Amino acid sequence: MMNVMRLFGGRAASAPVARERLQILLSHERGRNGAPDLLETLRSEILSVVSKHIDVDPDKVVVRMDRGKFVSMLEVDIEVPNGVQRSKMVAAT
Amino acid sequence: MAKVLVVTSGKGGVGKTTSTAALGAALAQMGQNVVVIDFDVGLRNLDLVMGAERRVVFDLINVVQGVAKLPQALIRDKRLENLWLLPASQTRDKDALTEEGVKRVIADLKTKFDWILCDSPAGIERGATLAMRYADEAIIVTNPEVSSVRDSDRIIGMLDSKTVRAERGERVEKHLLVTRYDAGRAARGEMLSIDDILEILATPLLGIVPESQDVLRASNVGCPVTLNAASSAPARAYTDAVRRLMGEQVEMTVPVERKGLMDRLLRRRAA
């Protein structure tokens, strides 16, 4: 019946989309009590490891996330110029 | 010259976030560079209504506290390349938002965008006062219902006293946006009419958005109604409102649903 209605100009039901979006979002938000989720922890630790070795220009760092149902994506894009200044933290050790 | 616009109401649930998304998208659809900012720290929802909830990395508070740069926190809309979102924080406490920090972020955004839309939280506390603090203009979202009109009156008073413009002796230009309006019920005397609301609030009318299934459908799928159902009655109302904001003379009407033959035959239930 749904398909027939769709054929005659009816639109696909939007509630299932809402349900799916909420399930994905809440699975990432629940039980954290304000604590960062895995993706956020990875992001901040990756950035701190990188900045241990080089002086990162925050303008040259792009971070993207996409929280999915089964798989999430974390993309950390850091521009490292050749001959870049090594961080003093490493130079001192 | 960038304009800072606050979308506010006092009362919750009247359609501030939906309207911010729809107005922001409508402005962007007209070629303007737009950023929408969620000021509802701890209870963000503009990301969800705009369909960007899975892509939030940094937020307004991260920027205010210097943890992230503004360009890192801005999320570009997937459908409109000149529409951007600055999400609120979901976890931190709202005291993390400072007046000085908000001032800095807005000044920075003014160099990059034509329109800065601030989605205010409900209430009259810190989040709401900070959302309106640097506004040049305000859109007061009101439902034709007694408690909403009363709270709008309260917010109008705050716009005239608690904003930077008001303190400088200037005025914040105010616009009334009536949402969830049912012309039939108003005509039968079951609902406050537009004239009633305008008489009580004495604020110029920006638009009348009719009660419509299309609004719920748009938030279900995370797409502003002006994009998701561009020819629907609420989308046309928001588009007209935006044209008025940009200085065009547009006749004030209550857009009505254009029902297709099948709609009428089947009398479809809400999707």
The pLDDT-based confidence of B78 (bands split at 50, 70, 90) is very high
CA distance B110 to B139: 19
Residue A53 lies in a domain: yes
Q: Kindly list the residues of chain A whose beta carbon comes within 8 Å of any beta carbon in chain B.
A: 5, 8-15, 17-18, 21, 24-25, 29, 32, 34-36, 43, 58-59, 61-68
Pairs of residues, one from chain A and one from chain B, whose beta carbons lie less than 8 Å apart: 67
Please count the other Cβ atoms lying within 10 Å of the Cβ belonging to residue B217: 23
Greater pLDDT, A33 or B229: B229
- Interface contact flag, A59 B90, Cβ < 8 Å: no
Residue A84 lies in a domain: no
Q: What is the CATH number of the domain that holds B27?
A: 3.40.50.300
In this prediction the pTM is: 0.89
Q: Kindly list the residues of chain B whose beta carbon comes within 8 Å of any beta carbon in chain A.
A: 48, 51, 53-58, 68-69, 71-72, 90-92, 216-217, 219-222, 260, 262-263, 266, 268, 271
Q: Do the annotations mark residue B3 as ligand-binding?
A: no
B189: left (phi over 0), alpha (psi -120 to 50) or beta: left
Give the pLDDT score at A93. 45
Q: Return the top range by mean pLDDT from B62-76, B130-144, B181-195.
A: B130-144
Which chain B residues touch A24 with a CB distance below 8 Å? 54
Give the pLDDT score at A43. 87
Residue A13 lies in a domain: no
Tally the domains of chain B. Answer: 1
Q: What is the pLDDT of residues B89-135, one digit of tens each?
A: 887 676 788 999 999 999 999 999 999 999 999 999 999 999 999 99
SS3 B77: coil
Residue A54 lies in a domain: yes
Q: Which of B248, B257, B251 is nearest to B27 (CA)?
A: B248
Which chain B residues touch A18 with a CB distance below 8 Å? 219-221
CA distance A92 to A48: 17
> Whole domain around residue A67: which residue ranges?
20-72
Which chain A residues touch B266 with a CB distance below 8 Å? 5, 8, 10
Residue A42 lies in a domain: yes
- Output the average pLDDT for chain B: 93
Tally the domains of chain A. Answer: 1
- Interface contact flag, A14 B268, Cβ < 8 Å: no
- Interface contact flag, A18 B219, Cβ < 8 Å: yes
Please count the other Cβ atoms lying within 10 Å of the Cβ belonging to residue A44: 13
Of A15, A24, A43, the CB nearest to B271: A15
Which chain A residues touch B91 with a CB distance below 8 Å? 32, 34-36
Residue A93 lies in a domain: no
Return the bridge partners of A73, or none.
Answer: A66
Q: What is the pLDDT of residues B240-269, one digit of tens each?
A: 999 999 999 999 988 787 766 655 565 544
A13 CA to chain B: closest CA distance, Å? 5
The pLDDT-based confidence of B270 (bands split at 50, 70, 90) is very low
> Whole domain around residue B42: which residue ranges?
1-267
Give the number of C-alpha atoms closer than 13 A to the C-alpha of residue B178, restricted to the C-beta side.
27
The CA angle B85-A43-B50, to the nearest 5 degrees, is 20
Classify residue B79 as exposed, middle or buried by CB count within 10 Å of its CB (0-12, 13-18, 19+). Answer: middle
Tokens of B214: 């299309």
Give the pLDDT score at B259. 64
Residue A48 lies in a domain: yes
- Output the average pLDDT for chain A: 79
CA distance B66 to B108: 13
Helix (H) or strand (E) holding B27: helix B16-29
Q: What is the pLDDT of residues B23-63, one digit of tens each?
A: 999 999 999 999 999 999 989 999 999 999 999 999 999 99
- Contact, B115 vs B35, CB < 8 A? yes
Give the pLDDT score at B271. 45
Residue A90 lies in a domain: no
- Residue A18, C-beta contacts closer than 8 angstroms, at least 6 positions apart: B219, B220, B221
CA distance B164 to B169: 9
Tokens of B83: 């529409």
Task: Tell me A14's DSSP state.
Answer: S
Task: Tell me A56's DSSP state.
Answer: -
- Interface contact flag, B57 A15, Cβ < 8 Å: no
Q: What tens-digit pLDDT sequence spans chain A (93 residues)?
A: 445 555 555 567 899 999 999 999 988 888 676 677 788 889 889 988 988 888 888 778 889 999 998 999 999 998 887 877 676 655 554
Tokens of B266: 């089947």
pLDDT of B76 strictly over 90: yes
Rg (CA), chain B: 18
Among residues of chain B, what percentage have pLDDT more than 70?
A: 94
